[in-house]
Amino acid sequence: MSSEQSCCSCSCQGAASSNPCGVIPTDSTISHSNRIDHILARWGYNRSGHLVTPGLYQLGSPDQDSPIFASANYTLSFDALRSALEGINGYILVLDTKGINVWCAAGKGTFGTDELVLRIESSDLSSVVSHRKIIVPQLGAPGVSAQEVQRRSGFRVEYGPVRAVDLPEYLRTGKVTPQMRMVKFPLHDRVILAPVELVYIALKAAIVAIILWFMAGQVASLAAITAVLTGTVLFPALLPYLPTKDFSTKGLILGFIVAIPFSYLYALTPGLPGWAAGAGALVPLLIIPAVVAFMALNFTGSTTFTSRTGVKKEIFRYVPIMAGMAVLGIIIGIVLGACRLMGMI
């Protein structure tokens, strides 16, 4: 995962702005301030503020034959690229993706053909290098038409590896192996996304947990917290190991498993008549899976396992089921609470 000052002394990062003074010097060193920025980005702080100034960056001491790499103006994307190119002389052409990473920006169209052509022209790239090739990340391919870029700018787009760490080997051999083309989503990459989702829902979850603590007791409050942690942390960690293909059904299965202990506690509540104990045991089996499944569906935007059409199908197919389960569970919980207040149980 800094303000541009002058042509000779501007930093490698900054607020998005025009770059009238030409090539911006940078290097492969990731500073302490960069690392802090990465942590803040991972935790969702100032989500739209982790920006690199769009423009042409000079890495090392490049000449007219040095390679050109395209990047998003998201600090994590830019820093991953420049750190992977340690010891390599080249140029990094940073596109204005509004602080969004390459893959997401390609889907939204900000890492796209028009923006790439615009940056090639505004940086006067044809006078900087003698060749006419620009290396674009593979995950940027959905937004970039190589044929159109070449027709409009004269530069040939070459799609590089999925991961920046493979660029040195790619430059050495001139080939992208099948392994470099493979999109991987290991445990580290899945879990590192959890903080953003957790922070996004933390306040709402805390409010719900407090309300439930006073209205329904500690177990209900703990169940709410457990559902949120399951959907934001446990689900990403267990994603490849959960059966079924759809994220929604994966979430329903995981949520049901997590709900069993809470259901068991309600079923064994002393002093409750059988019908009330059974109804109480049903509430977590309805609400927790629905909450976890909804968060699991939301996680589709963080992975390369899904497609836009696939997600739309899941939304129309499973969201009504999730909503129905949650509403039914809430109604049963309200009825039980009312019966308790009236002394019926």
Q: Same domain for 138 and 201?
A: no
The total domain count for the chain is 2
Q: What was the pLDDT predicted at 12? A: 39
Burial 139-156 (b: 16+ CB within 10 A, else e): bbbbbbbbeebbebbebe
Residues 239-251: tens digit of each pLDDT: 999 999 999 999 9
Q: What was the pLDDT predicted at 304? A: 67
Residues 67-95: tens digit of each pLDDT: 999 999 999 999 999 999 999 999 999 99
Q: Same domain for 213 and 324?
A: yes
Residue 277 CA, chain-centre distance (Å), reads: 41
Q: Same domain for 194 and 179?
A: no
Range of weakest confidence among 136-140, 201-205, 211-215, 308-312: 308-312
Q: Measured between alpha carbons, how far is 73 from 116 in angstroms, rounded to an integer? A: 12
Average pLDDT over residues 177-188: 87
Q: Same domain for 260 and 159?
A: no
Residue at a domain's end among 150, 183, 216: 183
Q: Return the amino acid letter for 325.
A: M
Show the domain range for 169: 24-183
CATH number for the domain harbouring residue 31: 3.40.50.11600
Q: What was the pLDDT predicted at 10? A: 37
Average pLDDT over residues 141-158: 95
Residue 301 located in a structural domain: yes
Residue 4 located in a structural domain: no
Average pLDDT over residues 153-175: 94
Residue 300: pLDDT band with limits 50, 70, 90: confident
Q: Which of 254, 243, 261, 316 is nearest to 290 (CA)?
A: 254
